[in-house]
Structure 1
Amino acid sequence: MGNFVNELQSKIERLENEINFKNGLISILSHDSKEMFGTFFLLIEELEQKNISEEDFFKLLPQIKRDAQKNLQTVQDSVTWLKTQYGEFKIKPVKIMVTDLFHYLEERYAAKLKEKNINFYFKGEHNAFLAGDRVLLEYVLDKIFNNAVKYSLPGQDIYLQAITKDDNVVLSVIDFGTGMNEKYLSEIYTYNIPIFLGTAGEKGVGLSLKIVKNFISLLHGDIQIISAENKGTTVSLFLRKFIE
């Protein structure tokens, strides 16, 4: 009886988490769309009624572009997540070499790393192998690494580190950027976290890490974030080691 109750409670918690996640997703999409299109509509109205000059209108376009990029990223993240919930999506566990993931990030972010003069290194076990879905894992690492670049200062280093522990590989993205204080760190997976600007003014919506957490659970792994203000952030993924 005790096992049945525990199993039932576990299922209820899982369902509550899924409902909260979906409600949060809808809330973010709704809020951002209203904010973006509402602001753009108001600006056009102000221009038509000659309350602002064309010069002032065009001065505001870079900010509108940044907001549009943020909202487009939100939609793309949402579509990626929806693919895991509906249709024919299935987890495909394959053997993945951690250094292949390093080279994936190195190539994908070559331009951004050069633009910010950030050095990217691999350290740890070069011959470590994971068992995971490559699509989900690349998405997860992409979002974590994007944050590391966003909140790093020019000239700083970022590491991808792999350490094998028993049947797990701990894959960590380590940066030495702006970091977060304890208050924001404790709220990182909620839907009331404020928007942080990157060190070059990049804007984030805060949705990606929530999807990352969801995807890591689909991979039967775990995620840990350690951060300190002005010292940097370490995001560690606890994933299954590939066993022959």
Structure 2
Amino acid sequence: MNDYINELQLKIERLESEINFRNGLISILSHDSKELFGNFLWLVEALEQKMINNEDFYKLLPQVKSDAQKNLQTVQDSVAWLKTQYGDFKVTPGKIKVIDLFYCLQEKYAAQLQEKNLKFHFKGDSDAFLETDRILLEYALDKIFNNAVKYSFHGQDIYLQVATESDQVIISVIDSGTGINEKYLSAIYTYGNPIFKGTAGEKGVGLSLKIVKNFVSLMYGNIQIISAENAGTTVSIFLSKFSE
């Protein structure tokens, strides 16, 4: 009887978590869209009514572009999550060599790494592999690595580390950037945390890690974040070596 109650409680907690996640997602989409289009509309109307001149208009365009990029990323992240909730999406396990994930990130972020003069290293067994859904894992690592790049200072190092313990594989992204203040770390997956800019002024919406946590759960894994302000961040994904 106790086992049944515990199982039911876990299901209720998971359902509440999913509802909160969806509500937060809708809130972010609504807020960001209103803000973006509202600012753009104000800018166009100000130009039409000659409240600002052409020179000032063009000076404001970079900010509009930055806001649009942030909004587009929110939509893309939301679509990625929605694909796991509706339609014919199924978690499809496949054998993945971890070092191949390193090479993919290295190639995708070559320009950003060069811009900040960041060194990206692989640490661990180059033959390590696991069996899980490649789409979910690649998305999760991409968002974690994107944050590592965003919050790293010029000339620093970032590591993709793999470790194996029995039948478990631990993949970690390690940086020595700005880190997270302890008072914010405990609420990292909620919607109450402030949004911080990257070391080069990069913007975010605080959505990616929430979706990453959801995706890691779909892979029957766990995620751990160890961080301290001005001391860097380590984000680790714990997954079974073989699919369940």
Contact 1:102 1:160 in 2 (8 A): yes
Shift of 1:141: 0.4
Report if aligned partners of 1:174, 1:235 keep a CA contact under 8 Å in 2: yes
Shift of 1:165: 1.1
Looking at structure 2, the residues matched to 65 and 183 of structure 1 have their Cα atoms a distance apart, in angstroms, of 32
Match of 1:235 in 2: 235
Aligned counterpart, 2:157 = 157
Runs of 4+ in 1 over 4 A off after TM superposition: none
> What corresponds to 1:63 in structure 2?
63
Q: Secondary structure in 2 aligned to 1:5?
A: helix
Name the residue aligned to 1:78. Answer: 78
Secondary structure of 2:84's aligned partner: helix
User: 2:24 is matched with which residue?
Assistant: 24
Cα distance in 2 for partners of 1:204, 1:229 equals: 18
Structure 2 length-normalised TM: 0.97
2:204 alignment partner, SS class: coil
- One-letter amino acid of the structure 2 residue matched with residue 168 of structure 1: Q
Distance in 1 (CA, whole Å) between partners of 2:181 and 2:61 is: 33
SS in 1 for 2:171: strand
Letter in structure 2 aligned against 1:40: F
State the Cα deviation string for residues 160-198 of structure 1 (Å, max 9, x = none).
001111221110000011111011212211112222111
C-alpha distance in 2, partners of 1:46/1:186? 43
Q: Could you tell me which residue of structure 2 aligns to residue 116 of structure 1? A: 116
Q: Does 1:54 align with 2:54?
A: yes
The answer to whether the aligner puts 1:93 opposite 2:93 as a matched pair is yes
Indicate whether 1:209 and 2:200 are aligned: no
Indicate the residue corresponding to 2:141 in structure 1.
141
Equivalent residue of 1:85, what SS? coil
Per-residue Cα deviation, 1:111-167 (whole angstroms, up to 9, x for no partner)? 111111100000112221111100000000000000000111111000000111122
Q: How many residues align?
A: 243
Deviations 1:32-72 (A, max 9, x none): 00111111111222222222222111111101100000000
* In structure 2, C-alpha distance between the alignment counterparts of 1:167 and 1:71, rounded to whole Å: 40
Structure 2 Cα separation of the partners of residues 183 and 46 of structure 1: 41
Residue-by-residue CA offset, 1:187-234 (whole Å, 9 max, x unaligned): 211112222111111101111110000000000000000111111100
- Could you list the per-position Cα deviations for residues 71-113 of structure 1 after superposition, in whole angstroms to 9, with x for gaps in the alignment? 0000000000000000111101111111111111111111111
CA RMSD of aligned residues (A): 1.1
Distance in 2 of aligned mates of 1:242 and 1:37: 46
Partner residue, 2:132: 132
SS in 2 for 1:120: strand
Could you tell me whether the CA contact under 8 Å between 1:174 and 1:233 is conserved in 2? yes
Identity of aligned residues (%): 73
Task: Give distance in 2, aligned partners of 1:7 and 1:141.
Answer: 30
Partner Cα distance (1:2, 1:230) in 2? 45
Q: Which residue number in structure 2 is paired with residue 220 of structure 1?
A: 220
Question: Partner letter of residue 212 of structure 2?
Answer: V
Distance 1:48 1:105 in 2: 44
3-state SS, counterpart of residue 117 of structure 2: coil
Matched-pair contact (CA < 8 Å) for 1:129–1:242: no
Shift, 1:242, TM fit? 3.2
